[in-house]
Amino acid sequence: MDLYLPVANMSVNIIMIVALGGMVGILSGMFGVGGGFLTTPLLIFYGIPPTVAAASAATQVTGTSVSGIFAYWQRGGVDTRMGAVLVTGGVAGSLLGAMLFEWLQALGQIDTVINLMYLGLLGSIGWLMLRESLEALRAMGSGQSVPTRKRRHHPLVTALPMRWRFYKSGLYMSPLAPLFLGILTGIMTMLLGVGGGFIMVPAMLYILGMDPKMVVGTSLFQILFTTIASTMVHSVTTHAVDIVLASLLLVGGAIGAQIGARLAMKVDPVRMRLGLAIVVILVALRMAIGLAWQPEEIFTIQWL
Amino acid sequence: MTPRATGLLCALMLLPAGSASVAASGDPVLVPDVSSRAIDIKYSFVGEELLLFGAIIYPDGRAPDERADIVVVIRGPTRPIRLREKQRVAGIWVNTQSVGFGSAPGYYAVASSRPIDQMIDERTAAIYEIGLRNLSLSPTEFEDSAQLRRFENGLIDLKRRQTLFVESAGGVEINQGALYRARLMIPAQVPVGRYTAETFLISHGDVIAVASRDIDIRKTGFDRFVAMAAEHYGLIYGLIAVTLSICLGWFAGWLFRRF
């Protein structure tokens, strides 16, 4: 079952790509991450040109996040006010990212920068989450009541000027913090084809200090609009969105997201966070190995 | 062979199909053909095997005693590229040096009846660009010949593993000194464009006849439409991609809530 991809200029196995989309979709529904941080590297590993992989993965993430957002919307789990601030940053970030992309590509350092970004972000966030969820598990195991950690945002966030009320998230803080977070993830969406959920979810929890019930829904909301912006920017600048590839990934991804959202209701949230932490750390390790070991291909071709 | 048949074949050689003979009259001529003049890339395309075949016609109708050799070359459109090399810097592998190549073919396959270096000398091979080592890649911005050689080898090695560069010594079969054929694989990831299939007749270290045919490799139908839209109508294409993505996701969500 092979299919030719008109933009990627190669043929792929349909079942492989749909299965890849499905696996990533389950993660997406469970954790509120887009799953792009897995899709893009796996597509590149399959042999799809990196730019096409990143662009098409972003398009796919749009679809999976729509599919997942329903469940959370109905439960009132989306803070649209917070979401709007994040999206504003996200769109600005996509445009910045496009400029950065072109500049780094001309320098020939795009791959290294992408890998280093992955490593730094995933490594630190995975570690944070792992420590936190293990502590919570240990507390539960020893029969103690889980220490009710006071939810609060990072001291740096408190120092920012101008304060808004985010009722649903239970926050009174400067919108500059989520705006900055939005810009950061927008840049990453453009460069890495990721929705940024795996950065956004922990950042919302540990840096902004949002109500955990709002985190996943709001993150999906932000991902939806940021990936739309990045698909548009890619279509106009790099022309690398492969609509056939994105559709294949989506067929798997949309189904996976539904399964994931149902699983999420059954699994204990602490264990779920531990699960995500482990996935994130594994991807970071893979990146570190990729950077330190001699790569399979010493030479790479760049079309001029 | 009758004079009339020879005349007809000579007339064929003069057709503007891109065939030409370098030799003066009295030398043998080549009548080449390929199994497809055009390769259409559509959704089910996984690559195609090309058969290059033809006849060697000697003016007196008799094959000479010494063995003549045939080389066939398929060459894709050239495109300027920059080749980057990774080196270990502070513990991690990053791109450091790079060399530009002004005319690297997107695809190049050569098949011959004997190893190339046993048939012709380097100069002749370089003139006709026969063999992967003899391609003129028009390098730019290189430091010295050692660096250039390393990069050329790197490029050839990379493209060979992608099966976009092929060298097959012994890939041409010659029957009774007059009929030849060779099979070459066109992989799915070839660039589109106009390809040429050249056939060289070689004897005593000289190229005595050359003939060539064009092959068009192009996308058709839906794939052509998508590729064209992506390249020229980015904004509309992007909107369609987003709409499609949202609709598919929405539909899946709706479907699951029903069950």
Q: What is the DSSP string of B132-184?
A: GGG----EES-S-HHHHHHHHHHHHHHHHHTTSEEEEET-EEEETTTEEEEEE
Helix (H), strand (E), coil (C) string for A104-161? HHHHCCHHHHHHHHHHHHHHHHHHHHHHHHHHHHHHHHCCCCCCCCCCCCCHHHHCCC
Give the nearest partner residue to B249 out of A108, A235, A250, using CB atoms.
A250
End-to-end CA distance of chain B: 77
Contact by Cβ (8 Å): A83, A222: yes
For A:169-208, CB contacts with B below 8 A are none
Q: What is the pLDDT of residues B13-71, one digit of tens each?
A: 444 443 444 444 567 888 999 998 899 888 888 889 999 999 988 887 766 667 789 99
Choose between A175 and B149: higher pLDDT: B149
**Chain A CB within 8 Å of residue B218 CB:** no
CB contact under 8 A, A9 and B158: no
Nearest C-alpha neighbor of B112 from the set B159, B182, B176: B182
For B:113-172, CB contacts with A below 8 A are 151, 154-155, 157-158
Give the nearest partner residue to B227 out of A6, A258, A303, using CB atoms.
A6
CB contact under 8 A, B257 and A70: yes
Residue identified by tokens 């089910």 is B44
| Share above pLDDT 90 across residues of chain B, in percent, rounded to a whole number | 47
Residues 6 or more apart from A36 whose CB is under 8 A from it?
A: A24, A57, A58, A60, A61, A189, A192, A193, A194, A195, A227
The Cα A240–Cα A113 span in angstroms is 20
CA angle in degrees (0–180, nearest 5) for B244-B246-B251: 95
List the B172-175 sheet strands across, edge first. Answer: B29-34, B47-57, B179-187, B172-175
**CB-side neighbour CA atoms (13 Å) of A8:** 27
Q: What is the pLDDT of residue A117?
A: 79
Distance from CA of B123 to the nearest CA of A (A): 28
Q: What is the pLDDT of residue B54?
A: 92
Kindly calculate the radius of gyration of chain A based on its CA atoms and give it in whole angstroms: 19
Residues of B in contact with A63 (CB under 8 A): 245-246, 248-249, 252
**Chain B CB within 8 Å of residue A257 CB:** yes
Q: What is the pLDDT of residues B159-168, one digit of tens each?
A: 999 899 999 9
The Cα A63–Cα A251 span in angstroms is 9
Is this prediction's ipTM beyond 0.85?
no
Nearest CA in chain B to A60: B245
Q: Which residues pair with A4 in a beta bridge?
A: A11
A205 pLDDT more than 60: yes
A85 pLDDT more than 50: yes
Tell me which amino acid residue A245 is: L
Residues of B in contact with A304 (CB under 8 A): 79-82, 100
A91 pLDDT more than 60: yes
